[in-house]
Amino acid sequence: MTEMISKAVVEAENASRRDALLRDYESLGERLARRGIEIDSIKEKVAAYGVAVPSWGVGTGGTRFARFPGLGEPRNIFDKLEDCGVIHQLTRATPTVSLHIPWDKVSDLTALKEKGVALGLGFDAINSNTFSDVPGQAHSYKFGSLSHSDAATRRQAVEHNLECIEIGRALGSKALTVWIGDGSNFPGQSNFTRAFERYLEAMKAVYAALPDDWRVFTEHKMYEPAFYSTVVQDWGTNYLIAQELGPKAFCLVDLGHHAPNVNIEMIVARLIQFRKLGGFHFNDSKYGDDDLDTGSIDPYRLFLVFNELVDAEVRGVDGFNPAHMLDQSHNVTDPIESLITSAMEVCRAYAQALLVDRKALEGYQQENDALMASETLKAAFRTDVEPILAMARLEHGGAIAPVATYRASGYRAKVAGERPAVAGGGGGIV
Ligand SMILES: [Mn+2]
């Protein structure tokens, strides 16, 4: 196993924090025991939890106005995997990487898979890209892809998705994520019904090529790059797609792809109820698809999403197995630090949701005690679960304080010396 950060650094950093952590963990354990919660069982669930890192997330993101590259940016997917290896080594919470084709396309897939194995990383859902053109492609996606008015362009987009499935198969992925930029900028530009019919027909061809043990996730987004309408605009349309395609098709919820104030946790509950929740792209937003760091703006909403997930887990919902992925654009931070922090925020929301007294909550719901129902959720959310997260990391070889340990390691300065500065490229807001 290749350790990207020297074990000596991790151990020295942990040694300086271990005694305080043991005391904090014991103290929290006592307080949770008073609430009838066994701290070790929560810690074990958190330790078993994993969220996938997006390969595009380790590069500096940008906006449609500009991109300001950081130091030591990964030059290719092999560099990206090394950065992902750092995140997993320190957090022990990101065991898989979600690739994006063509950004991560390589000629030697065996070498890529071996690199992942060496770093202790597997490959999560593979993402196709028909929202931008690559040099030399026959048909442009300027006016759409899977729903394009031209049959040859649609066919090209289908072929690309089939290629993604083949790449994913070679790497051990089990899912394809499809997000399209198709839509319109003017009323009248596109016939809503015909465009959706064409999309469904194209997606049926993609679906037909899925291996038996694969799933396909379709991702809705209300606007951008098309600003008047998008073909897959919301969870209702997304649900219709999953229904039309069949049992291997599921809806992917990107937290940023909704209008402000939309009740996302309720969408999650509905998709769980009707067995069509495929997974998440976690991020946070203030205004739209900001792709800000998960939990940085509204950690309570993230907790409420996890509250629905744990509720389904506790109820043992048949076939419940959503994929958890981060999808963020890091424009002003070191992407590794942002992804470390975001992975921990997701773990935190999960741990807090595990603390909800579900029996009491059910009672308050039954009695219509709105205030106490709300307080039951708040009691879990207000609990500082950091000692649980830190102990889970420590016991699995990670860092008690991942960002501090990363900074102490000098990793960024080291790769800055090895990786020459590059301009632009890669993806930002997806
Ligand atoms: Mn996304």
Cα(185) to centroid of ligand 1, in Å? 21
Task: Write out pLDDT tens, residues 80-131.
Answer: 999 999 999 999 999 999 999 999 999 999 999 999 999 999 999 999 999 9
Short-list 74, 126, 118, 122, CA closest to 94: 122
pLDDT of residue 64: 83
Integer Cα distance of 347 and 298 in angstroms: 15
Task: Write out pLDDT tens, residues 129-167.
Answer: 999 999 999 999 999 999 999 999 999 999 999 999 999
Amino acid at 364: Y
What mean pLDDT do residues 20-37 have?
A: 98
Task: Write out pLDDT tens, residues 231-247.
Answer: 999 999 999 999 999 99
Residue 424 has pLDDT above 70, yes or no: no
Integer Cα distance of 96 and 52 in angstroms: 5
Amino acid at 200: L
Integer Cα distance of 200 and 194 in angstroms: 10
Cα(192) to centroid of ligand 1, in Å? 23
Cα(223) to centroid of ligand 1, in Å? 12
Cα(117) to centroid of ligand 1, in Å? 25
Cα(218) to centroid of ligand 1, in Å? 10
Residue 405 in contact with residue 9, Cβ under 8 Å? yes
Integer Cα distance of 372 and 365 in angstroms: 9
Which class for 9: exposed (0-12), middle (13-18), buried (19 or more C-beta within 10 A)?
A: middle
The SS3 assignment for 230 reads strand
Cα(175) to centroid of ligand 1, in Å? 14
Tokens of 369: 């005690």
Cα(278) to centroid of ligand 1, in Å? 13
Cα(178) to centroid of ligand 1, in Å? 9
Residue 210 has pLDDT above 70, yes or no: yes
Integer Cα distance of 185 and 172 in angstroms: 38
Cα(339) to centroid of ligand 1, in Å? 15
Cα(264) to centroid of ligand 1, in Å? 15
Exposure b/e, 188-209, CB count within 10 A at least 16 = b: eebeeeebbebbbebbebbbeb
Cα–Cα distances (Å) from 389 to 43, 45, 200, 353, 377, in that order, read: 7, 10, 43, 13, 20
- The residues, any chain, with a CB within 8 Å of residue 131's CB and separated by 6 or more, are 141, 145, 179, 180, 181, 225, 430
Q: Is the dihedral of CA 413, 415, 421, 423 positive or negative?
A: negative
pLDDT of residue 421: 79
pLDDT of residue 263: 98
Task: Write out pLDDT tens, residues 282-309.
Answer: 999 999 999 999 999 999 999 999 999 9
Cα(362) to centroid of ligand 1, in Å? 33
What mean pLDDT do residues 250-260 have?
A: 97
Cα(133) to centroid of ligand 1, in Å? 19
Cα(219) to centroid of ligand 1, in Å? 7
For all residues of the chain together, what is the average pLDDT?
96
Cα(382) to centroid of ligand 1, in Å? 29
Amino acid at 262: V
CA dihedral 390, 395, 396, 399 (to 10 degrees): 40
* DSSP structural state of residue 55: G
Residue 429 has pLDDT above 60, yes or no: no
Task: Write out pLDDT tens, residues 43-93.
Answer: 999 999 999 999 999 999 988 889 999 999 999 999 999 999 999 999 999
pLDDT of residue 63: 86
